[in-house]
Amino acid sequence: MPDVVVALGEQFAAHGHELSLVGGPVRDLFLGRSSPDLDFTTDADPDQIIAAVSGFADAHWDIGRDFGTIGIRKGDDILEVTTYRAEAYDPDSRKPQVSFGSRLEDDLVRRDFTVNAMALQLPSFELVDPHGGVRDLVAKHLRTPGTPEASFSDDPLRMMRAARFASQLGLDVAVEVREAMTAMADRLEIVSAERVREELVKLITGAHPRQGVDLMVETGLADVVLPEIPALRLAGDEHHRHKDVYQHSLQVLEQAVDLETDAEGPVPGPDFVLRFAALMHDVGKPRTRRFEPGGAVSFRHHDVVGAKMTRKRMQELRFDKDSIKAVGRLVELHMRFYGYGDAGWSDSAVRRYVTDAGDQLERLHRLTRSDVTTRNRKKAARLDRAYDDLEQRIAELAEQEELARIRPHLDGEQIMEILGISPGPDVGKAYRFLLEHRMDHGPIAQDEAERLLRDWWAEQE
């Protein structure tokens, strides 16, 4: 613990108030993990909190005053101190109704799970654990301090947190908690998309994302948050009809996690974009499933359809534009490798593959490799060697012509000067023509590019 923890406890004691470190930081101490946030709770009301830290804190702010929270800065440490409270949701409201309390035990019982309902009283560091949080951590068990129905009624987002803690900490959800989640999953609909999105990101980037996703699907939470995922259980696989596309997608997610790099590599883990693309890559299959003559099943264009579905879902969850673009692009391109493989990977095809992937190329490499879940070892080895060959071709071409920065032979200014035209649609057409030639034939000298452009322009007249 930073020195400021003890100092703050002594500061509150000197002013006649209780102070405890509470929630996630206490849980993480028992797990041997460092916690990014230090959260404190006290019997002091917001005005008394400000009075207690006056002269101690370098700065304070009261943007969370209505919820009993005062933020303070002491040196490089940012801390939040919150008055003991009890909060509940109106059944039809997204916003909590807050009332302040006077006892630590009353504050702890309103918290989401027993593993987060522990406190260290300061400055003595005496553990307060009335609901057996330490016991549940040891047993890897997720329970609620009170009844799960009451907890989830207070804040339906706690059902998403249960799935998130299954992913982050590998905790097994108690039977009664799972049953309450199943019965109350629809309550999640009143929670704002932004809050749901934040929990989903934490779940997907957890240590055990498959466990968290599976819990969401089994309890019906995914029907509210990501209905495209449970829908995968209805789709067979085009190569092996016995394969469950839902389980396949979870396996691809796990394999993508294994291909993440360390902080120095091109795709440092945990990487939400790669993981979410892996989870969503086949969501277009249920809509494109067709039964062919002879009993075969096809999913033509499921990559394109799935990309549209993924973008729409992420928009509804209020993801930022860059994340939506990146994940959608990966889903759209995840089958491209197979077409190029059949064509023998001409230089033109390799250039287009790299150009279409853009800054998602390293993620696309990993997504494509992760998508191989066949039990046929020979087939898996053949696909692996083929992709090794593709990556080698990309590296060789990149070395020859700086593939990552492919541009037409001439820029827009040069095109207008050579053709004697003003800005407009014709400049764009000429640019795209030169880009296509660059893709198909590689770099050429500038004088040859000028001749090529004039010949093309003459054909347009």
What tens digit of pLDDT does each residue of 363-407 get? Answer: 999 999 999 887 778 877 877 888 888 888 888 877 766 655 566
Domain match, 372 and 250 both: yes
292 pLDDT band, cuts 50/70/90, is confident
Q: Within a domain: residue 233?
A: no
Same domain, 168 and 246: no
pLDDT > 60? residue 78? yes
Is 231 within the bounds of a domain?
no
> Is 158:130 a contact under the CB 8 Å cutoff?
no
- In this prediction, residue 239 carries a pLDDT of 47
300 part of a folded domain: yes
Q: Looking at the predicted structure, is the pLDDT value of residue 225 above 70? A: yes
Compute CA distances 372 → 2, 205, 311, 392, whole Å: 47, 21, 24, 19
Residues 91 and 170 in one domain: no
Strands laid side by side in the 77-83 sheet = 59-64, 69-74, 77-83, 39-42, 19-22, 119-122, 126-128
CB 45 within 8 A of CB 100: yes
Say if residue 362 is in the same domain as residue 449: no
Give Cα separations from 389 to 96, 350, 351, 382 (angstroms): 56, 11, 14, 11
Kindly state whether residue 234 falls inside one of the protein's structural domains: no
> Which of 225, 249, 275 is the last residue in one of the domains?
225
Question: Which pLDDT value is given to residue 114?
Answer: 96
CATH of the domain at 150: 1.10.110.30
183 found inside a domain: yes
> Do 335 and 373 have their domain in common?
yes
Question: 382 and 249, same structural domain?
Answer: yes
Helix, strand, coil shares, percent, the chain, to 5:
60, 10, 30
Domain that holds residue 444: 412-460
Strand partners of residue 268: 261
How high is the mean pLDDT of the chain? Answer: 88
Residue 304's Cβ-count burial label (10 Å; 0-12, 13-18, 19+) is: middle
Where among 167, 194, 225 does a domain terminate?
Answer: 225
Q: Is residue 305 domain-resident?
A: yes
Task: Report the pLDDT value the prediction gives residue 461, as an integer from 0 to 100.
Answer: 67
Same domain, 210 and 297: no
**Tokens 């905790």 label which residue?**
171
Predicted confidence band at 180 (pLDDT cuts at 50, 70, 90)? Answer: very high
Residue 219 lies in a domain: yes
Residue type, 25: P
Residues 327 and 426 in one domain: no
Strands (E), 101-201: 119-122, 126-128, 141-142, 172-173
Instruction: Answer yes or no: is pLDDT of 197 > 90.
Output: yes
Residue 81 has pLDDT above 60, yes or no: yes
Residue 348 has pLDDT above 90, yes or no: no
| pLDDT tens profile 405-460 | 566 778 888 888 888 888 888 888 888 888 888 877 777 888 888 888 888 888 88
Same domain membership, residue 305 and residue 362: yes
Last residue of a domain, one of 166, 194, 225: 225
pTM: 0.81
- Do 252 and 354 have their domain in common? yes
- Domain count for the chain: 4
Q: Is residue 113 part of a domain?
A: yes
Q: What is the pLDDT of residues 90-144, one digit of tens each?
A: 666 555 566 777 889 989 998 999 999 999 999 999 999 999 999 999 999 999 9
pLDDT at 192 over 90: yes
pLDDT exceeding 70 applies to what percent of the chain? 92
Same domain, yes or no: 333 and 213: no
Measure the CA angle with vertex 377, ends 276 and 234; round to 5°.
Answer: 45
Let me know: does 416 contact 423? Beta carbons within 8 Å. Answer: yes
Residues 259 and 398 in one domain: yes
